[in-house]
């Protein structure tokens, strides 16, 4: 399912003394099957953008096209449930939204609320609990008896149980240790590929953006600053640093090395393997390091 934001503006508490412009003139195109990373400094408008992707927010100007539905400021929308079933959002710390007495019931709640039979919902729970890296034994446990990382996986299974076509991830690794972060992101990337999902990742991790995204959108002060593939975006480290953003550690090392050597390596390297190969080529050409 394709999604497009066209000249979208959103004002919080519009037409009141507390009106605040959050985003404006936002154009973003997300073709079906794309893995898109949304990056930007805190307050740049990322969270406001993603809440338009399943009509949690309605633009005050412009329009959002979600599959065959168009959400615009001048049109009153009815029956938004199908959109919210197709576009699943995993908010920061999703484990805080767990509430039922067992893991199984928590995962089944969403699908059954949308008319899925109890039998089918339980089948989804059994299948998805394994897909998120847990075992069927946890289904009968209280989610509050699990570790923080396990609770997060249960919450993610609950979103996946709705069988969304689009998965929106808002800082999904927040609060996890480095190993947990890698495991969760590898899981999302595997699900993205296996299920043919469109995936939108909001992240402060430039490593994750470089590793997993097909395309990156930089938000700055409520506007789209730049859009491009990871290699293009990270080939301009000075621009990112000027916006208060980091760059991947490999890119930062290459940037400093190139300045020290006063020469370019030929391309921006996004992994240690790419950087090693580029340095080996430099050595084979007889250039000193």
Evaluate whether residue 264 is within a structural domain.
Answer: yes
Evaluate whether residue 265 is within a structural domain.
Answer: yes
pLDDT of residue 79: 84
pLDDT of residue 284: 79
Tens of pLDDT along the chain (289 residues) come to: 899 999 999 999 998 999 999 999 999 999 999 999 999 999 999 999 999 999 999 999 999 999 999 999 888 878 888 898 899 999 888 888 888 899 999 999 999 999 999 999 999 999 999 999 999 999 999 999 998 889 899 999 999 999 999 999 999 998 888 988 999 999 999 999 999 999 999 999 999 999 999 999 999 999 999 999 999 999 988 889 899 899 999 999 999 998 888 888 888 999 999 999 988 887 777 665 5
Evaluate whether residue 126 is within a structural domain.
Answer: no
Q: How many domains would you assign to the chain?
A: 1
Q: Token match 């009968």: residue?
A: 140
Evaluate whether residue 256 is within a structural domain.
Answer: yes
Evaluate whether residue 61 is within a structural domain.
Answer: no
Give the model confidence (pLDDT) of 225-236 as tens digits.
Answer: 999 999 999 998
pLDDT of residue 148: 85
Considering only CA atoms, which of 154, 210, 212 is closest in space to residue 188? 212
pLDDT of residue 280: 87
pLDDT of residue 199: 97
DSSP notation for the chain: --EEEEEEEEEETTTSTT-EEEEEEEEEEE-TT-EEEEEE-TTSSHHHHHTTTTTSS--SEEEEEETTEEEETTS-----HHHHHHEEEE-SSGGGG--SSSHHHHHHHHHHHTT--HHHHHHHHHHHHHHTT--GGGGGS-GGGS-HHHHHHHHHHHHHTT--SEEEEESTTTT--HHHHHHHHHHHHHHHHHHT-EEEEE-S-HHHHHHH-SEEEEEETTEEEEEE-HHHHTT-HHHHHHTT----HHHHHHHHHHHHHTS--SS---SHHHHHHHHHHHHHTT---
Give the model confidence (pLDDT) of 167-197 as tens digits.
Answer: 999 999 988 889 889 999 999 999 999 999 9
Evaluate whether residue 229 is within a structural domain.
Answer: no
Evaluate whether residue 48 is within a structural domain.
Answer: no
User: Measured over all CA atoms, what is the biggest interatomic distance in the chain, rounded to whole angstroms?
Assistant: 68
Threshold 0.85, pTM exceeds: yes
pLDDT of residue 289: 54
Evaluate whether residue 163 is within a structural domain.
Answer: no
| Domain with 264 in it | 248-288
Separation of alpha carbons 199 and 184, rounded Å: 14
């Amino acid at each position: 399912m394709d999604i497009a934001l066209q000249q979208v503006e959103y004002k919080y508490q519009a037409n009141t003394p507390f009106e605040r412009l959050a985003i404006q003139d936002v154009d973003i195109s997300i073709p079906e099957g794309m893995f898109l990373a949304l990056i930007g400094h805190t307050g740049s408008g990322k969270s406001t953008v993603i809440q338009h992707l399943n009509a949690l927010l309605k633009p005050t100007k412009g329009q959002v096209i979600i599959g065959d539905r168009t959400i615009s400021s001048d049109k009153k929308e009815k029956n938004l449930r199908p959109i919210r079933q197709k576009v699943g959002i995993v908010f920061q710390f999703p484990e805080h939204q767990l509430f039922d007495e067992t893991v199984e019931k928590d995962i089944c709640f969403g699908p059954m609320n949308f008319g899925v039979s109890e039998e089918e919902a339980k089948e989804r729970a059994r299948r998805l609990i394994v897909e998120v890296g847990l075992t069927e034994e946890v289904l009968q446990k209280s989610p509050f008896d699990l570790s923080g990382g396990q609770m997060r996986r249960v919450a993610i299974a609950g979103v996946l149980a709705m069988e969304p076509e689009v998965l929106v991830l808002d800082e999904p690794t927040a609060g996890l240790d480095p190993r947990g972060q890698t495991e969760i992101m590898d899981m999302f990337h595997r699900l993205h590929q296996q299920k043919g999902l469109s995936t939108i990742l909001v992240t402060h991790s430039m490593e994750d953006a470089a590793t997993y995204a097909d395309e990156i959108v930089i938000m700055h002060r409520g506007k789209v600053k730049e859009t491009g593939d990871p290699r293009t975006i990270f080939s301009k480290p000075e621009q990112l640093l000027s916006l208060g953003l980091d760059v991947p550690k490999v890119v930062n090392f290459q940037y400093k090395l190139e300045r020290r050597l006063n020469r370019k390596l030929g391309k921006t390297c996004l992994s240690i393997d790419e950087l090693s190969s580029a340095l080996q080529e430099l050595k084979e050409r007889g250039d000193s390091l």
